[in-house]
Amino acid sequence: MMRTFSLRINGRGNAWPIPIGQHHPFYDLPGAPDYANASYSILEREGEGKIIKDILIDAGHGIVPFLLRHGNRIPDAMLITHPHFDHILGMDWIIQSYYRFRGKKKYPVYATRGCCEQIIKTMPHLKELCEFTELSYGRPVPVRETGEGMTVTAFPVYHGVHARAAAMLLVEIVPAGKRLLFTGDVLVPMIRQGDLEMLRGVDWLITDANNRFPYPKTNHWSVVRRHPEDEKYIGPWLKELTEPLMMVPHNFQNYTNYQYLLDYFRDFPEKEDYILTVLDFATRIRPRNLLLTHYSGLEDEKYYKEVLLDTPGLEKWAQETMDDVNLAMKVKVPETGAIIPFGKK
């Protein structure tokens, strides 16, 4: 039987998409799965039909209503980019469901060691219910629940001093011959020069588009940096951005991942080489497709007097932005529930 692979968008919302009592043009009020939930699934199906594997990437507040409404199936494993609530709070109910109804089996979770520790600190009861597999920076780790079907490689990112051991995840789907890069939330990627090569030409770059223009205090990168006003916000921040500061969330000297960070700073001694926008990153690694989620836009409105966009508006603007610099890349801003097919075997 032929197998097909696809990416499903389980939720797009950042940590504060719609605080109760507010409105936002990007997120419909009844769209509960979007609330504080940036989450994806890599699905493997028999033919076009039954899901035989669901590997979840991140699990925020909205993931539980999403899964209940979309097949009511427990994902087979989860990969976590970083331990912020809009990426982990839904873990609890998924893991409890699995543990209670699958004969007290521990749930497989893949994340960096610092991220695992932070998850346990936030939800101590999960310690007994999960089987954690540590991701070391730059090393592919097989996702055992897929047989030989998938590897995941973590790369460190700086997403503010409190985002402990935050990482982007390169997922290789072996039978489909496809590579997907999930950045999670990021302000500055901290990837060794040589490892950027590993990311070149990924099939999909799936990234956080919190704002279009830079406001580094959000701890998220922007899509571009070309606004006449942006030096005002990015200049003072860059002065404060030092190597020790960027090491804070990753700074555990007994961890295997520590050496990776030292290598990164040897590779990138100059701030001019830091990657500060989605556009910068796309220019270096040349993905075939770009998928933007996690949009807020509140900072664009407040600091740049730029309008908040809706879904088609953000997609059109981002596609034109990438076309302007001749990056031959298709941009998509998906709706929650969208399914993007990417391979057959």
- Residue where the block lists tokens 């097919």: 341
At how many degrees (to 10) do helices 311-324 and 278-285 cross? 50
Backbone angles phi, psi at 53, to 5 degrees: -145, 140
Backbone phi and psi for residue 50, each to the nearest 5 degrees, phi listed first: -60, 135
Residue 269 CB, shortest distance to Zn ion, in Å, is 27
Min. distance of Cβ 81 from Zn ion in angstroms?
8
Coil/strand/helix, residue 192:
coil
> Which residues, at least 6 apart from 165, have a Cβ–Cβ distance to it below 8 Å?
82, 83, 112, 113, 114, 115, 118, 156, 249, 250, 252, 257
Report, in Å, the least distance between residue 170 CB and Zn ion.
19
Nearer to Zn ion, 76 or 185 (CB): 185
Residues that bind Zn ion (CB under 5 A): 14, 84, 86, 185
Nearer residue to Zn ion within complex by CB, 13 or 149: 13
Q: Reduced to 3 states, what is the DSSP secondary structure of residue 257?
A: helix
- Residues contacting 97, CB < 8 A, separation 6+: 74
| C-alpha 97, offset from chain centre | 24
129 versus 246: smaller Cβ distance to Zn ion:
246
Minimum distance from residue 144 beta carbon to Zn ion (Å): 27
Q: Which is nearer to Zn ion, 8 or 159 (CB)?
A: 159
Nearest approach in angstroms of CB 163 to Zn ion is 6
Nearest to 301 by CA among 186, 187, 215, 224: 215
> Which residue number, 178 or 220, has a Cβ lying nearer to Zn ion?
220
Nearer to Zn ion, 14 or 222 (CB): 14
How would you classify residue 258: left for phi > 0, otherwise alpha for psi between -120 and 50, otherwise beta?
alpha
Residue with tokens 């500055």: 188
> Least distance to Zn ion from the beta carbon of 219, Å?
7
* Min separation Cβ 104 and Zn ion, Å: 31
Give burial (CB, 10 Å; 0-12/13-18/19+) of 23.
exposed
> Quick one: 86 or 172, whose CB is closer to Zn ion?
86
